[in-house]
Amino acid sequence: MTERTAPSSPSSPASADRTVLLRGGEVHSPADPFATAMVVERGHVAWVGSEGAADAFASGVDEVLDLDGALVTPAFTDAHVHTTATGLALTGLDLAAARTLDEALVLVREHAAARPAGEVLLGGGWDSSRWPGQRHPSRAELDAAAGGRPLYLPRVDVHSAVVSTALLALVPGVTGLKGYAPDAPLTGAAHHAVRAAAHRAVSPAQRRAAQRAALARAASLGIGTVHECAGPDISDEEDLTGLLELAAERPGPRVFGYWAQQVAHAKDARRIRELGAIGAAGDLFVDGSLGSHTACLHQPYTDAPHTGTAHLDAAAIAAHVAACTEEGLQAGFHAIGDAALTAVVDGVRAAAEKVGLARVRAARHRVEHAEMLTPQTIAAFADLGLTASVQPAFDAAWGGDDGMYAQRLGTERARTLNPYAAMLKAGVPLAFGSDSPVTPLDPWGTVRAAAFHRTPAHRVSVRAAFTAHTRGGWRAVGRDDAGVLVPGAPADYAIWRTGDLVVQAPDDRVARWSTDPRSGTPGLPDLAPGAQLPVCLRTVVAGQTVHVRPNA
């Protein structure tokens, strides 16, 4: 495989008011599947075409960037991010690499020793389903490792947490809240209360540093836009408004904010907009997660004698969707289990009967995660115009016959999860994201996970997955003119060092014409398992450079 080299560095960073000609590479554009050049003007794509035609522009631009064979694609959109939590994981205690409980406790002990004595300790990313014995840390073990200090450690799915005794002492009445257990991970209201106490201990300076770190990491991976999924059970209003202000005042990825609070009337909708949010959506919880046994199921878990937790029923969902639709506001929910997804489609359908199906479809309401879909709920998503904001990395992390999903649900039910091919076939709009810090910011890894789903029947082409992670995120916020490199589109793009470009079909049943260069289908990097993922050399948002790889 021939490796493509880095583009030469321009004399100065591109800015939104400069006209730039990029040439000598591969430009991924439906406007011209063989394009090698692109002109950016006033923050938008002005032209895409061939190397020969580029000569006509060379003398009339402010800057010429020689790509030297590099690939130019639309910048990625991560449709589900918790930015501050991502930054805190990047700058704080991350237990994702811990292979055993003992290793996790050592990391806690080392982190505590390195932090100021009066500081609440924050971490996360642990997953006891991967540890020998599958046992979570006990409170006594955490107290010892933290040296008696307040400690908050959410599970990798962030739907439960283990905490130290000292943190519990900061939350009066916590033992009486739903989800409290004397020596088990906290869920529900108890978890939300201790999380709020822990986050209150984060100073404004710490929070802003975490947000900067998260956005910088996103930009370094070719992500030009993130959807911040905030809400009163996840963060606080100051966190959301501070993030939106930060994104507006400095170069970096765009941030679209969602605030997950129920809307009953116009006053509620006004408050959502006052916060700067574009919708009352994101993690408005209908249920919890499979890992924490809180996703709401029709039938009991295989490894627990219950069906999880329901937070909203169909009537509450209908009221929220109807109110949002009346106010011209996008609604949305977090729903993972099959019973939760049934409640969503029943509720949205009831809202459509009240306010009109056409208006509900036009609002592009969205559902986060949407993992345990059935043929019936898939058909309902398509009929109601619901966007599925999904995370293929979940399948890569927990799918397969030996994964956490199979432990929780049994092999047969686990194999039905995340049916991307059936969703696309039915016409359900897909928007890909990471749910970072649940799974890392990793756009090409996300595309690979969808194309090489652990259940072969659910695989989609690399091209379809790439579209869901670029244009799909823009469509999820009501924009059909972005996420693609065509004249008139926002100049949000990334430049990559990669190997040969190919057209990858989901399986051998796909007609071979689509993988032949003569078909005119634009190629993408080889994402087969084991192949090296592309390296981001530069990220540009609205014509302004927001990341340049050192020594590129």
8 Å CB contact between 536 and 221: yes
Query: Looking at the domain 204-477, which fold is it?
Result: TIM Barrel (3.20.20)
3-state SS assignment for residue 186: strand
Of 31, 34, 23, the closest CA to residue 59 belongs to 23
CA 1/CA 448 separation, integer angstroms? 18
pLDDT value of residue 242: 96
Residue 336 dihedral angles phi and psi, to the nearest 5°: -120, -50
Task: Give the separation between CA 155 and CA 175, rounded to whole angstroms.
Answer: 20
- The sign of the dihedral angle between the CA atoms of 406, 408, 414, 418 is negative
Q: 539 and 552 in contact (C-beta within 8 Å)?
A: no
Tell me which residue of 160, 165, 171 sits closest to 193, measured CA to CA: 171
Rg (CA), the chain: 23
CB atoms within 10 A of CB 552: 16
Instruction: Assess if CATH 3.10.310.70 describes domain 85-201.
Output: yes
The one-letter amino acid code at 17 reads D
CA nearest neighbour of 401 among 385, 391, 390, 413 = 413
Residue 238: Cβ within 10 Å count? 11
Q: What is the mean pLDDT of each run of 10 residues along the chain (552 residues)?
A: 36 65 96 94 95 87 94 98 92 88 94 87 88 93 93 87 92 92 89 87 88 98 98 92 96 97 96 98 97 96 97 98 98 98 98 98 98 98 98 97 97 98 98 96 98 97 97 97 97 96 72 49 91 97 96 72
* Rounded distance between C-alpha atoms, residue 411 and residue 480, angstroms: 39
Helix (H) or strand (E) holding 544: strand 544-548
Q: State the burial class of residue 509 (Cβ atoms within 10 Å of its Cβ: 0-12, 13-18, 19+).
A: exposed
Q: What is the pLDDT of residue 2?
A: 31
The phi and psi torsions of 252 (rounded to 5 degrees) equal 165, -175
For the chain, domain boundaries: 19-75+485-498+534-548, 85-201, 204-477
CATH number belonging to the domain at 19-75+485-498+534-548, selected among 2.60.40.1180, 3.40.50.300, 2.30.40.10, 3.40.630.190 = 2.30.40.10
Closest CA to 493 of 434, 545, 534: 545
DSSP-assigned states of every residue in 463-506: HHHHHHHTHHHHHTTT-SS-SS-STTSB--EEEEE-S-EE---S
- Residue 122: CA atoms inside 13 Å, Cβ hemisphere, count? 25
User: Residue 516's pLDDT is what?
Assistant: 52
The Cβ of residue 549 has, within 10 Å, a number of other Cβ atoms equal to: 15
pTM: 0.89
DSSP character at residue 292: T
Q: Which residue has the tokens 């996970």?
A: 449
**What residues does 263 pair with on adjacent strands?**
none
Q: Residue 552's pLDDT is what?
A: 64
Q: Which residue has the tokens 């309401």?
A: 365
The residues near 345 (Cβ < 8 Å, ≥ 6 apart) are 377, 380, 381, 384, 386
Rounded Cα–Cα distance for residues 474 and 78 (Å): 10
457 and 101 in contact (C-beta within 8 Å)?
Answer: no
Q: Is the link from the previous residue into 437 a cis peptide, with omega within 30 of 0?
A: yes
- AA identity, residue 356: G
